[in-house]
Amino acid sequence: MDDHSKHDHSRWEGVVIAARERARSRQALMVERFGLSGDVQYHWSMDDARITWSRRRKWSRKSEVFLTGRLTMIGSVSLARQTWLWSWANESLPPAVLGDIEQVRRFGEDNDFPVLPRPGFDSHPELVAEARVVAASVLDADGLWMESTDDTELHFLLHDLVPAAAGD
């Protein structure tokens, strides 16, 4: 956000409001449609950019996969440094998990929204939330997902959700 002269904050706010509403409705639809509340487990991999959800079968200890999807990593927050790093600027990530994240950077450049093309920024919760929902809108994601560790938050988009066939 070095060049405040180009940035139209009211236009950014409009994009964020529309993206936030879109994300809210899509997230609710995703949870309801696929039954992602309650006792569900998940497994994810950045190497192949996939996520699966499973449930325990009744009267059994075995789990059954009921949904699969594709992941795009948006970025990460270092809790120790309180900084955000866009995934497109993180050279340590497997290429598969980057998906089309470069489109978000280009969208920021094309529209003079400086938070999107800068590799990182101080991780104010509201700014991280705005970056996430705008990325979800630009990439037409089905939903948002976050994984936390002791010192890092990993932020993802969910795409191409497909119910698993019985017995898969």
Residue 130 placed within a domain = yes
The count of domains in the chain is 1
| Neighbour-count burial of 52, counting CB atoms closer than 10 A to its CB (0-12 exposed, 13-18 middle, 19+ buried) | middle
Residue 48 placed within a domain = no
| Per-residue pLDDT band at 19 (split at 50, 70, 90) | very high
The type of residue at 115 is V
Residue 167 placed within a domain = no
Residue 165 placed within a domain = no
| pLDDT of 168 higher than 70 | no
- Which span out of 23-37, 96-110, 154-168 was modeled with the highest average pLDDT? 96-110
Residue 56 placed within a domain = no
Tens-place pLDDT, residues 78-115: 999 999 999 999 999 999 999 999 999 999 999 999 99
As a whole number, the mean pLDDT across the chain is 92
| pLDDT of 158 higher than 80 | yes
C-alpha distances (whole Å) from 157 to each of 23, 50, 61, 87 are 10, 11, 30, 12
Residue 134 placed within a domain = yes
Positive or negative: CA dihedral 29, 33, 39, 45: negative
In percent, the amount of the chain with pLDDT more than 90 equals: 80
Q: Range of 113's domain?
A: 9-38+72-157
